[in-house]
Amino acid sequence: MIPRTLFTSDHEDFRKTTRRFIEEEILPHHERWEAQQHVDRQIWNRAGELGMLNMSMPEAFGGTGDRLFSVVQMEELARAGATGIGWPLHSEIVAHYINNFGSDEQKAMWLPKMASGETVTAIAMTEPGTGSDLQGVKTRAVADGDDYVINGSKIFITNGYLCDLVVVVAKTGDSGEGAKDISLILVEADRAGFTKGKPLKKVGMHAQDTCELFFENVRVPKSNLLGREGMGFIMLMQELAWERLIIAITSIAGAEAVLEQTQEYTRSRKVFGKPVAGFQNTRFKLAELKTELAIGRVFVDRCIEQVTKKKLGVDDAAMAKYWTSDLMCKVIDECVQLHGGYGYMMEYPVARAWIDARAQRIYGGTNEIMKELIARTL
């Protein structure tokens, strides 16, 4: 395999620490979290104690300023199949909106609390009638004196059930030009009129906290506006490339882990008196999957390098997201097949990975939307 050159010894030491933490404090509880459809709040506080939240934020706000530590964490969570943990969205999406577009007061108010785990965050984009088309959101924030009054609903919101703070995508104008009418507004969960639905019953990712959010005459001060009014869509476009690369990072890491597990299984499982790995079909299939993952890994690592240089293109992120999430589903499906009947049993990690992986091709913008974005650059 081509050696990875992204990480320093400090990053690799952190990888060992993260892997140990996941094995000792996350995986023993994950099945229980799947049953209750959200993780325990305490795991957020514990992560904050250990400095595992908001790691890419400036040191002044509790971070390291180095996004590669977050990449290591995301890879290890994906490797372990710990799909219930919503830290990447909190630390690598919401925190960046606040740090990049928030006022000094907003940064000082929220980023330290996010780093400690005191405040859990979410971002509310998707609505029952609008998915990948963010210009079509119906949620409205109407100016009333020094406040906005928000009405609408959001669906499929990761961290929604436990969140204390939400970045809400809402319409604040009526120009009819879609993108120019959208703003981002910070809404605290204890505001009157803001309610949460029960965790949604998803096909997979059962431990991940995902729910609907409802806003009925929710009044927030105009000081909760992120950036300038009407600039929300532009801000979203600037950050969505990184969000899509996060999906690519976790897709490759998760698929690599499943392939490793399958290699071990096929060596130990015997059919007709010899290991499954001894059959040419198995060897060739594993060789194909290893090759495709190696190709994907090189491209994703190159995209990560571009992120560190602030040069990641929207089309590159879209290509990475669509291709690796498709590849992840292909790899895991082939690995289920190589497990035979046991691949369909939930006590085997490959079965859990199979049902969890399917969402990767949907969220962050469907893969069909990714192809449309790529096509616009041709």
Residue positions annotated with a catalytic role:
243
b/e map 173-184, b = 16+ CB within 10 Å: beeeeeebbbbb
Short-list 209, 212, 251, 236, CA closest to 353: 251
**120-to-12, 158, 164, 165, 335 alpha-carbon distances in Å:** 27, 11, 5, 7, 35
**Residue 38: exposed, middle, or buried by beta-carbon count in 10 A (0-12, 13-18, 19+)?**
buried
Return d(Cα 139, Cα 127) in angstroms, integer: 8
Short-list 207, 249, 290, 208, CA closest to 78: 249
Which residues, 6+ apart, have CB-to-CB distance to 326 below 8 Å?
361, 367
Q: Strand ranges (DSSP E) for 233-354?
A: 270-271, 274-275
Residue at token pair 């590849």 = 327
Return d(Cα 36, Cα 31) in angstroms, integer: 9
Give Rg (Cα) of the chain. 21
